[in-house]
Amino acid sequence: MSTPVRINKYLSEIGYCSRREADKMIDQGRVVVNGEVIEMGLKVTSKDIIFVDGERIKERKTKAVYIAFNKPVGIVCTTDTRVEKDNIIDYINYPSRIFPIGRLDKPSEGLIFLTNDGDIVNKILRARNHHEKEYVVTVNRPVTDEFVRQMAAGVPILDTVTRPCKVTQTHKKEFKIILTQGLNRQIRRMCEFLDYRVVSLKRIRIMNVNLDVGKGKWRNLTSDEIAEINKMVKTSTKTVD
């Protein structure tokens, strides 16, 4: 890569980590370029000498990896294996470097993608692309018609109102919800606003991929699934270089 690009994009495109994770590492002072700890926004080329956590980072051509993983409760969606003992990377122990697309909270379970394709990570994570994610949620008391109506219409959390979504009661204390945005702890915060407490939360679908492997297991996405995802994110705007 001879044209200078921002360091977060560079690390993403060579399959080292997502841009979001790169920004976090830069902010923590863990990225060194040409012997200097860098600040956000630095541009680099393949000729620059880059270290992350003391490891030399080299541009490499690797086969794209796309994994669907059924995350158990208690596993943390981070690539920082130094900090979290029960992190998703050590748990899966994949033979090459991969990173999660988005996250599931430690108390939550279910479907999450992992990949080494930084470009598709950036596209999927952009909330304005309205990609669907479906969850099954159990709460601490009976679900009412009013609760379903309010959840579906939008709830004020985090200085905004959640985007209208699909909510369906499935059992006395259980419902399904389909979101097209990804605010921090969104479902839990929505329920809390309405005086409900989440007992269990499982993601069962992301876009066109359903959860179909056992807890703690993973599989490669099929070529058809990958093709459909690429089609769905084709119009997604990339982040600024």
Enzyme catalytic residues: 105
Task: Kindly state the tokens that stand for 48.
Answer: 């620059």
- Enter the tokens of residue 118: 């930084």
Exposed/middle/buried for 157, CB within 10 Å: 0-12, 13-18, 19+?
middle
Q: CA dist 13 to 5, 22, 75, 122, 227, Å?
A: 10, 11, 26, 10, 19
Distance CA 34, CA 191 (A): 49
> Residues, the chain, total?
241
Instruction: Please give the C-alpha separations between residue 201 and each of 104, 146, 156, 182, 195, in angstroms, as whole numbers.
Output: 10, 20, 20, 15, 17
Q: How far apart are CA 172 and CA 170, in angstroms?
A: 7
The single-letter DSSP state of residue 162 is: P
CB 122 within 8 A of CB 145: no
Pair 194, 149: CB distance under 8 Å: no
Cα 22 from Cα 30, distance rounded (Å): 9
